[in-house]
Structure 1
Amino acid sequence: MLRLLISLAAALFLAACGADRTYDSQERVDSARYVAGPPATITLFTGINTQNGTGAHSALMVNGSQRVLFDPAGTWQHASVPVRNDVHYGITDRMLLFFLDYHTRDHFDVVEQTIVVSPEVAELVLNKIQAYGAVPKAGCANSISSILRTVPGFESIKSTWFPKALRREFATIPGVTERYLRDADVPNTHGVIMVDKDGNRVN
């Protein structure tokens, strides 16, 4: 009996730590393709727990030949957004607002850091996140830092498991701009009204 209980516990543990391997069809991915236009950019999103100041999550948006969101080990989803492993396709401005509103809520803010890159660098990052595969739980910052440190211009980024540490590393890259977002629609967490830390509306 003890051996059975241990086996069941191990199975549950592995299931909880497993990566989400959602893999939509190529037809859905192609039909959702969204091109935002120049300039090519890389954007890091960092969720911050405002109660204890810890980093809650990391995600990476690439705007190049198309705009996609790499949300490793994330839980956000939308019926209009196809997903392959942890790459979300069709990130229009509206879908981006839905994503940001999902993460900016009571006790959670988001730091948005953006840098303009060459189209070649954006395409390289896009290829790398597409090839990375599904990310296990708690691996968001580790997967993003592991990818970025292999990209020209981002080599100084150290590998880390911690979202706030990745945010600090990303901030050292010359040319990075930063925006701090918080929800102005609490307790209605389904709204898409957000303000920056100075109270200015951002959408």
Structure 2
Amino acid sequence: MRVIAAFAMCLVLAACAQPPAVPYASDERVAASAYREPGPNTLTVFTMVSNRNGKGAHSALMINGTQRVIFDPAGSFVNERVPEQEDVLYGVSPAVLKGYKSAHARSTYHVVSQTVEVTPEQAAVALRLATTNGAVPRAFCTSATTGLIQRVPGFQAIESTMFPTRLMEQMSTWPGVVEEKYYEDDAGDIVDGVAGIVLPD
């Protein structure tokens, strides 16, 4: 069992590998890029799932409150057009969201999105927790994501886990959850995917 657990952790490490170090965006740039998606306040759990064996490779959380951000703990999504501070991506417009999904989806992985509507107060708590969490070490993407969600009022029932699909399974039973799957069939890895993103000026 230890060998299996170690192998599984290696897969997670590979998927949550840290990208090349880049300077964090300034507070001024983050503020200028703020975007809020019209409609209700929501939380969306992203799970990157292997098309080969169904295993999870990465977890992230998108928060649509007073602004829309992606808490991408130990993530590898780096694009100079998307401001980032300590594992939080800002200015998540529809184009950025599409680029984020496209960068992760390829012939070997697809992206599962699980969205639940929340109150403005719940969204505010999630946004505060994300922006004050700090950068997350490699392989702890799902642990950090579940740890954040657990602290949002009403989500205390979410159980801690290191495995992306276990969080995905929990979210699949959440009342009112809306689930979507995004596929692409291109080759390469996330670095290639990010390089291929075209964002509007």
TM-score tier after normalising by the smaller chain length: 0.7 to 0.9
Paired with 2:30 and 2:18, the residues of 1 have a C-alpha distance of: 26
For structure 2, list consecutive stretches of 5 or more residues without a partner in the other structure: 1-16
Pairs within 5 Å for 1:49-198: 49-183=50-184, 186-187=186-187, 190=196
Aligned-pair identity (%): 41
Report 1 or 2 for greater relative contact order, CA contacts < 8 Å, sequence distance ≥ 6: 2
Per the normalisation by structure 1, the TM-score is 0.80
Q: CA deviation at 1:24?
A: 1.9
**SS in structure 2 of the partner of residue 180 of structure 1:** strand
Paired with 1:124 and 1:118, the residues of 2 have a C-alpha distance of: 10
Q: CA deviation at 1:35?
A: 1.7
**SS in structure 1 of the partner of residue 73 of structure 2:** coil
For structure 1, list consecutive stretches of 5 or more residues without a partner in the other structure: 1-15, 193-203
Contact 1:61 1:69 in 2 (8 A): yes
**SS in structure 2 of the partner of residue 144 of structure 1:** helix
Say if 1:82 and 1:153 are closer, same or farther in 2 by CA, change over 3 A.
same
Per the normalisation by structure 2, the TM-score is 0.81
Contact 2:48 2:56 in 1 (8 A): yes
- Larger Rg, first or second structure (1 or 2): 1
- The match for 1:7 is none
- The match for 1:27 is 28
Contact 1:23 1:83 in 2 (8 A): yes
Amino acid at match of 2:52: Q
Amino acid at match of 2:109: F
Residues paired across the two proteins, number? 176
- The match for 2:5 is none
Contact 2:43 2:116 in 1 (8 A): yes
Query: Which stretches of structure 1, 4 residues or more, deviate above 6 A after TM superposition?
Result: none
Q: CA deviation at 1:66?
A: 0.3
Q: CA deviation at 1:167?
A: 0.6
What are the Cα deviations for residues 11-45 of structure 1, in whole angstroms up to 9, with x where unaligned?
Answer: xxxxx889x78532111111111121221110010
Please report the RMSD computed on the Cα atoms of aligned residues, expressed in angstroms.
2.3
